[in-house]
Amino acid sequence: SSGPPCPVCAEPCLSPRLLPCLHSLCAPCLRRLGPLGEPGRAAARSVLCPVCDAEVALPPGGVAQLIPDYLALSRGGAVAAGCDLCADGAAVRRCLTCEADLCLFCCQAHRRQKKTASHAVTELENTKDCSQAEKPLFCPSHPTERLRLFCEQCDQPVCRDCVADRHRQHPYDFTGNVIHRHGDALRELLKSTQQRVGTLEGVLNQIDDMGSAVRSRTEAVATEICLFASGYVKAIEEHRDRLLKQLEDLKMHKENLLHLRKAQLQQLLLDMRTGVEFTERLLTSGSDLEILITKGVVASRLAKLNSIAYNTHPSLEDGIQFSPQERAGQCRGYEVFGAILNKVVDPARCALLGEDLHSARQNKLTGFTLLCNDTTGERMGRGGEAVQVIITHKDKRDCAVKPTVRDNGDGTYHISYSPGEPGSYAVCVYVKGQHVKGSPFTLTVKNKFREHQGVFHCCTFCSSGGQKAARCACGGTMPGGYQGCGHGHKGHPGCPHWSCCGQVKESSECLGGSPSNTSQRSLLRTVAL
């Protein structure tokens, strides 16, 4: 039999079968489906539906055991139906007794057979109005028997012969008696599925709305990016024009300075040549009396010309640089970078700063600061200069100190070092290979800081608890055999002091020498006490 056009070949759907994905295909298209079973297996376990591209499982018997799509057959309508008996020819008539569609050949055979010769046969066109009536379905295992029963155990319609054969002793009932129960269960499942369909449609609508929102937001952000980029480009172009204008003004300023210097030197040269020519003519052509009379004026003029100072090595601050990383403020509300650097460091105007510039302690980290200034004495305000520091011992040439130079990025440089030997050192600080102001200078490195070995006390009597043998480096004594100092007695400095060296400053370095063993024991005893 045939139904609506096959979704694959678009031909009338002959003997359509229903796949588990509920798509109906004609028998030829089903036979052409490629198997997805394991290689070497006789039968395919599953196939791909050409409509939804889903992998669907096949019955054990393969495509032949798929359920016929009776619904598609009933929707055939005006489409040419197939013969229910031979399934080869197109049905042209219908046997009302058998309730079967017959082709012309089967119709003639139907009339010749004794059992069916008396059946009422009518033209198929006359039965179209009865399409809504239930069409009888015949058992695929027993083609002459109608499917009137339903096997509950196997959950499928069967005929009378099936009940007597394969479905013997299976609970069954007439289809009319069980349709309500199974139909209601299917309706409940349909209702649940419809709810899910509604939910999925809502989710898809939300996704569509989200997609629309994403597209709208993307377009808005793209507009913002374009506006930002356009504004940024205009700001950069304006900053570029400003920099070029600044550079042109700087060039004109320097050229004017050069022209002024050149004019001054040309005028001085002209004056000197005039003086030289006049003097030479006077000395070669003038009489003795004329020379003596004019000598004063000529000498005064030449002396004045010779006293005019001028640089024999003219130079100009040509250190114009462009720094792309330099912050240049804002332009049109955008922060821009890139500045023209016209300042040139002048080693003669640089300064060395630090409290311990000329003194240090052995093996103690110390340092000083180099401040770089330009030719006008103003602070450079940026780093990157070539700074070199050399520290050498004046007496021991092989004793050198390796300093560390840290660029602070603001025109200052911190130089740190740790001398290993005491003595006098020569410190040379160079910027661009030239000595800075104050370089070279002498650095005096003292011995290691000597810690006090005694106690910082008011007097020996108090710190020792009245011990007569306790002594103090201040040299004070007390009557009664006390060898240490006491308040108001001879030799007491009148203030707290160190017992080991007599220093009155608590944070001072110990100046004590190497006392005798007896004195050392007494001082140590004072410390212990």
Decide if 519 is inside a domain.
Answer: no
In DSSP terms, which residues pair with 367 in a beta bridge?
416
Q: Is residue 63 part of a domain?
A: yes
Q: Could you tell me what percentage of the chain is helix, strand and coil, using 3-state DSSP and rounding each to the nearest 5?
A: 35, 20, 40
Q: Are residues 125 and 110 part of one domain?
A: yes
The confidence score (pLDDT) of residue 289 equals: 92
Q: Tokens for 349?
A: 């105007």
Task: Give a yes or no: residue 122 inside a domain.
Answer: yes
Q: Which residue segment(s) compose the domain that 499 sits in?
A: 451-470+494-507
pLDDT for 428 equals: 92
Which stretches in the chain have pLDDT values below 70?
A: 1-3, 34-44, 73-81, 87, 125-135, 314-319, 513-529
The confidence score (pLDDT) of residue 483 equals 86
Question: Other CB atoms closer than 10 Å to residue 208's CB: what's the count?
Answer: 10
Q: Give yes or no: residues 231 and 289 share one domain.
A: yes
Tokens read off for 164: 């007597």
Task: Answer yes or no: are the C-beta atoms of 476 and 498 closer than 8 Å.
Answer: no
Residue 225: exposed, middle, or buried by beta-carbon count in 10 A (0-12, 13-18, 19+)? exposed
Q: Is 12 within the bounds of a domain? A: yes
* CA pair distance 227, 237, nearest whole angstrom: 15
pLDDT at residue 275, as a whole number: 94
**Residue 106 shares a structural domain with residue 182:** no
Asked whether residue 25 is domain-assigned, the answer is yes
The confidence score (pLDDT) of residue 476 equals 87
Question: Could you tell me if 30 and 107 lie in one domain?
Answer: no
If asked whether residues 98 and 53 sit together in one domain, one would say no
Q: How far is it, in rounded angstroms, from Cα 162 to Cα 274? A: 145
Residues 242 and 354 both lie in one domain:
no
92 in the same domain as 63 = no
Is 375 a member of any domain? yes
Domain identity same for 188 and 285 = yes
DSSP 311-360: -SS-------EEEEEEEEEEETTEEEEEEEE---B-GGG-EEE-TTSSEE
- Regarding whether 101 and 70 lie in a shared domain, the answer is no
Is residue 43 located within the same domain as residue 65? yes
529: tokens are 């006490």
> Tell me, what CATH number does 55's domain have?
3.30.40.10
CA distance linking residue 45 with residue 335, whole number of Å: 69
CA angle 303, 305, 310 (to 5 degrees): 125
Say which residue the tokens 């050192």 belong to: 425
pLDDT of residue 170: 92
**Tokens describing residue 201:** 């449609």
In a domain, 195, yes or no: yes
Nearest to 421 by CA among 367, 364, 362: 362
Please give the pLDDT value at position 165.
87
State how far the Cα of 172 lies from the Cα of 322, in Å rounded to an integer: 99
Are 396 and 434 members of one domain?
yes
> Of 33, 53, 77, which one is at a domain's C-terminal end?
77
Could you tell me which residues come within 8 angstroms of residue 419 by beta carbon, excluding any fewer than 6 positions away? 360, 361, 362, 363, 391, 401, 425, 443, 445
- Closest listed residue to residue 342, CA positions, set 360, 321, 359: 321
Q: What is the pLDDT of residue 519?
A: 42
Q: Give me the number of domains the chain comprises.
A: 5
Is the CA virtual torsion 63, 67, 72, 77 positive or negative?
positive
Task: Note whether residue 378 is domain-resident.
Answer: yes
**Does residue 8 contact residue 50 with C-beta atoms inside 8 Å?**
yes
Judgement on whether residues 103 and 55 belong to the same structural domain of the protein:
no
